[in-house]
Amino acid sequence: MLATVDSCVLAGLEARRVEVQADSGNGETRFFLVGMAATSVKEARERVRSAIKNSGLDFPRKRLTVNLAPAEIRKEGSGLDLPIAIAIALAEVGKRAPARSAFLGELALDGAVRHVDGVLVAARCLKRVGFDRVFVPAADASEAALIDGLEVIPCEHLAGVFAHLLGEAQITPLPFTEIAPDPTTGALEHDLAEVHGQEEARRAIEVAAAGGHHLLLSGPPGSGKTMLARCLPGILPPLELAEAFEVAQVRSLLGDLVPGRPLDWTRPFRTPHHGVSMAGLIGGGSGFAMPGEISRANHGVLFLDELAEFQAPVLQALRQPLETGRVTITRSGGAVTYPARFTLVAATNPCPCGWLGDPVRTCRCTQAVVDGYQRRLSGPLLDRIDLQVGVRRVPLVELAAEPRGEASHVVRERVLAARARQQARQECLNAQLKPSRLRHLAAMEPGAKRTLERWSEQKGLTARGFHRAWRVARTAADLEGSELIADHHVLEALGYRLHDVAA
Amino acid sequence: MTLPLDLNTLNARGRWPPPDGPRVAIVGSRRPSPYGEAVAEQLAADLARAGVVVVSGLALGCDAAAHRGALVGGGVTVAVMGTGVDIVYPAAHFRLAEEIVAAGGALVSQFPDGTSPRRRNFPARNVTLAALSDVVVVVEAVQGSGALITAEAALDLHKEVMAVPGSIFSPLSVGTHALIRDGAGLVQNARDVLAALGVGREVLDDPLGAPGRLGFRLPAERDGILIHLSDVLAVSTAELARKLHLPVAEVLSRLTSLELDGAVRRHGAGYVRALRSGKD
């Protein structure tokens, strides 16, 4: 008898439909699995055989062929265990699978259905191609229940699923979870109220949050760079529904979702170590690439501490995602695209020993070493960081005497207002404005324009540097609630730069 | 102290020996403050105008400023190198070295051609530098700096040592202040050096005016920001904002405006007052 069951395999944030066909007939007792199955899928033969036997079902003692169609897609992962087992069991009893239903899940030898990664992504794609019902591991059912219009059958055990299909015992479907953004933000882990002094860096963080600009903090060890960076998520608005959904999908692929609470409204904050590999930061792996840190930081903050210690090729690879908010990675299985729209916050020491420019301690680095260190940071990557500020170390004894600044929730109000202005005007943040749109949307007073041109002439500003200052000036004006960019906005924007090098 | 070598056996590129006239060494930190750099350059220019041969070590910072100043003053300058005269170290000073030779000065070295930079060679070079000069002026030096080795060698060779004072808050002036305390001559302008050389005051035709004793023009006051800025130590935007009771964004935009006018400069993580020579 022949039975066909639908399932899917994941290719990045897309799922491709796979038809599992099981056919048993006369001949030697053997089990063939064909249709470009990777090793992880070939192993399904052994799991499925034991799971069927241990679920009190009959495993056909005939010549059994399971085909995974279409044959030209390479199939990976353990999610096909459940559909293979269901196809075999249905073929044995001569029944058909319900229409427009798909199955996904890994099997344990005792027949239990176990968690697989990416159920949210799979459910979204299956719904889009016309499926009405998904059978998914009970552990992942809450992910699938986020998709409206899809009946979600949580599967605990192979025997239970089969009984459900035969109409012997019903499994209650998990209802669609209505998603409502949660405006209540709990107590912040890092609040700007705890930052003493550092007024310039505080202001830079506010501008970065308001306009979505990337930020570089440079200063000696212990000057509070990490603390400042960690305050950034707290002054950003909570994720919007579409954003939270995108964040959840990347997490689903990586198996990172919190069980029972698939949607999270706080912005991601990722801090990869400077030893991170290209695959770790950008994304990679065999077959289809998996998302890297930049995609985990999507709609949130990517904090790179000790920027100069990162491998140069890894940093260079950040350029495309910084520009487009997306990353496309090609591996043997094909090309996949992941979202990577994050705010980059980078921190660096001014020199290898860290004390260059410190008022108290003397730097022991030779000029050549300092030049080499700063050269590693310069160039195309630095060119894309709109805000660059120096952070000074405040001696511990004086720290308490430094004035405390505003709390995060106060700053956040201003950030939200500035962001609302931008959305109303251009439907994106200022940092994402291309030069052609800047000309239309970011008008400067004549004096402001002259200042920018004068500076650009004097300091040899590149075209990119020119537009960078323009965008930051736009954000400074938005924070002030001003539609026209004034002279002092441009001057402030030009102040956010570290060296006198042409930038 | 005896010289380790005969000065007549020095390797040289350019005109060697230099024209007759007093020779003054101007040395100091490789990483001076904007003040130190300006002093070295201005002092060298004034001395060069008075016909003094300016001797220095072609290093970064004060040395380079001294050579540049001498060239600006239209004088002759000699670079005493710690490498062979065919190897310019640091390489960034290749053009400066060419200009020194082109202006009638010389690159000299006690080391054979092809000697690459080695740590142990530089103290010996410092002794030679002192031996070649009549007066050694130290502009800025942290404790234990190479410029102090030159000063010590000069004392051993019975040459006059002079030093430029600075801020008591600046680590870069600790070495020079120690020299002054120990009896080094105080340098406030080129005339002080010329007096030590026994050259008459009349050589310098251009009287030096106050308040920048070296002839610096202080930038015009505006906004009350400049009062709070030093020409030695960088002041951060945050500190200024606090002193002026202004929002940091406003201080930043005012500073950038002053920077655009050339009145202030970035230095480290803050700003310093920009010193401009009154003569150019």
Q: In this predicted model, what pLDDT tens digit does every residue of A52-87 receive, in sequence order? A: 999 998 888 889 999 998 988 888 888 999 999 999
Quick one: A276 and A423 in the same domain?
yes
Token pair 């803050």: residue: B270
- Going from the first residue of chain A to its last (503 residues), give the mean pLDDT of each consecutive group of 10, the final group possibly shorter: 92 92 89 88 90 91 91 88 94 90 95 94 94 94 90 94 91 84 69 86 95 92 89 90 91 84 86 93 87 94 92 90 90 89 92 78 78 78 87 76 83 94 93 90 91 90 88 95 93 82 34
The answer to whether residue B247 scores a pLDDT higher than 50 is: yes
CA–CA distance, A160 with A57 (Å, rounded to integer): 11
Dihedral of CA A93/A98/A99/A104: which sign?
A: negative
For B7-203, CATH number out of 3.40.50.300, 1.10.3470.10, 3.40.50.450, 3.90.230.10 equals 3.40.50.450
Token pair 């301690």: residue: A361
Quick one: A135 and A273 in the same domain?
no
Whether A181 is covered by a domain: the verdict is no
pLDDT for residue B217 = 57
Residue of A nearest to B33 (CA): A357
Quick one: A138 and A196 in the same domain?
no
CB-count exposure of residue A396 (10 Å: 0-12, 13-18, 19+):
exposed
Q: Which of these three, A110, A131, A166, is where a domain ends?
A: A166
pLDDT for residue A461 = 83
CA–CA distance, A319 with A298 (Å, rounded to integer): 15
Q: Which of these three, A395, A411, A432, is where a domain ends?
A: A432
Nearest residue, CB atoms, B252 vs list A200, A350, A368: A200
CA–CA distance, A311 with A37 (Å, rounded to integer): 36
Judge whether B163 and B179 are in contact, CB under 8 Å: yes
Q: CB distance B237–A495 less than 8 Å?
A: yes
pLDDT for residue B234 = 82
CA–CA distance, A199 with B28 (Å, rounded to integer): 35
A331: domain CATH number? Answer: 3.40.50.300
CA–CA distance, A430 with A438 (Å, rounded to integer): 9
CA–CA distance, B5 with B11 (Å, rounded to integer): 12
Residue of B nearest to A200 (CA): B238
Shortest distance, CA B72 to any CA of chain A (angstroms)? 22
Shortest distance, CA A300 to any CA of chain B (angstroms)? 25
Quick one: A230 and A320 in the same domain?
yes
B118 contacts: CB under 8 Å, gap ≥ 6: B82
Higher pLDDT, B163 or B8: B163
**Could you give the 3-state DSSP secondary structure of residue B185?**
strand
Q: CB distance A199–B237 less than 8 Å?
A: yes
CA–CA distance, A343 with A322 (Å, rounded to integer): 9
Q: CB distance B256–A491 less than 8 Å?
A: yes
When pLDDT is averaged across residues B22-46 and rounded to a whole number, the result is: 91
**How many Cβ atoms are within 10 Å of B20's Cβ, its own excluded?**
8
CA–CA distance, B149 with B147 (Å, rounded to integer): 5
Backbone angles phi, psi at B65, to 5 degrees: -65, -40
**Residue type present at position A15:** A
Q: Give contacts of A 318-377 with B, CB under 8 A.
A: 350, 356-359, 362-363, 367-368
CA–CA distance, B110 with B81 (Å, rounded to integer): 8
Would an 8 Å CB–CB cutoff place A489 in contact with chain B? Answer: yes
Whether A449 is covered by a domain: the verdict is no
pLDDT for residue A108 = 95
CA–CA distance, B210 with A451 (Å, rounded to integer): 33
Quick one: A90 and A216 in the same domain?
no
Whether A55 is covered by a domain: the verdict is yes
Quick one: A51 and A89 in the same domain?
yes
| C-alpha to C-alpha distances, A316 to A162, A278, A322, nearest whole angstrom | 52, 10, 10
- Strands A301-304 and A269-270, by their bridges, are parallel
Judge whether A228 and A393 are in contact, CB under 8 Å: no
* B218-277 is classed CATH 1.10.10.10: yes
DSSP string, A348-367: E-SSSSS-TT-SSSPP---H
Q: CB distance B255–A350 less than 8 Å?
A: no
A217 contacts: CB under 8 Å, gap ≥ 6: A201, A204, A225, A228, A229, A345, A346, A347, A348, A389, A391
Nearest residue, CB atoms, B248 vs list A199, A454, A490: A199
- What ranges in A223-366 are assigned the alpha helix state H? 225-231, 241-254, 278-282, 293-296, 312-316, 319-324
CA–CA distance, A418 with A471 (Å, rounded to integer): 13
Quick one: A301 and A390 in the same domain?
yes
Closest CA to A396 of A426, A360, A445: A360
pLDDT for residue A183 = 60
Count of domains forming chain A: 2
pLDDT for residue A187 = 67
Quick one: A348 and A405 in the same domain?
yes
Tokens read off for A435 = 């030069």
Shortest distance, CA B1 to any CA of chain A (angstroms)? 30
Whether A184 is covered by a domain: the verdict is no
Whether A87 is covered by a domain: the verdict is yes
**Residue type present at position B191:** R
Quick one: A31 and A144 in the same domain?
yes
Nearest residue, CB atoms, A390 vs list B254, B255, B269: B269
**How many Cβ atoms are within 10 Å of B113's Cβ, its own excluded?**
12
**Could you give the 3-state DSSP secondary structure of residue B229?**
coil
- What ranges in A355-445 are assigned the alpha helix state H? 367-377, 396-399, 408-426, 435-441
Residue of B nearest to A404 (CA): B242
Tokens read off for B198 = 């026994």
Q: Which residues pair with A347 in a beta bridge?
A: A217
Mark out chain B residues that contact chain A at CB-CB < 8 A: 30-31, 60, 90, 142, 171, 233-234, 236-238, 241-242, 247-250, 252-257, 260, 265-270
Q: Which domain holds residue A343?
A: 192-432
CB-count exposure of residue A178 (10 Å: 0-12, 13-18, 19+):
exposed
| C-alpha to C-alpha distances, B98 to A367, A389, B62, B87, B132, nearest whole angstrom | 22, 37, 18, 12, 21
Nearest residue, CB atoms, B248 vs list A203, A350, A458: A203
Backbone angles phi, psi at A136, to 5 degrees: -130, 160
Whether A328 is covered by a domain: the verdict is yes
Task: Give the model confidence (pLDDT) of B171-211 as tens digits.
Answer: 889 999 999 999 999 998 888 898 898 876 554 545 444 33
Task: Give the model confidence (pLDDT) of B48-104 as tens digits.
Answer: 988 999 999 999 999 999 999 999 999 999 999 999 999 998 888 999 999 999 999
Shortest distance, CA A427 to any CA of chain B (angstroms)? 26
CA atoms lying within 13 Å on the CB side of residue B24: 35
Q: CB distance A199–B241 less than 8 Å?
A: yes
Closest CA to A38 of A286, A331, A289: A286
Q: What is the pTM of this model?
A: 0.82
Residue of B nearest to A389 (CA): B269
Q: Where exactly are the structural domains of chain B?
A: 7-203, 218-277
Tokens read off for B235 = 């002041």
Quick one: A210 and A358 in the same domain?
yes
Would an 8 Å CB–CB cutoff place A390 in contact with chain B? Answer: yes
Q: CB distance A455–B248 less than 8 Å?
A: no
pLDDT for residue B211 = 38
Judge whether A158 and A138 are in contact, CB under 8 Å: no
Mean pLDDT for chain B overall: 85
Q: CB distance B252–A492 less than 8 Å?
A: yes
**How many Cβ atoms are within 10 Å of A8's Cβ, its own excluded?**
27
The answer to whether residue B213 scores a pLDDT higher than 60 is: no
Quick one: A324 and A278 in the same domain?
yes
Whether A291 is covered by a domain: the verdict is yes
Calculate ∠ Cα A313-A315-A320, nearest 5°.
100
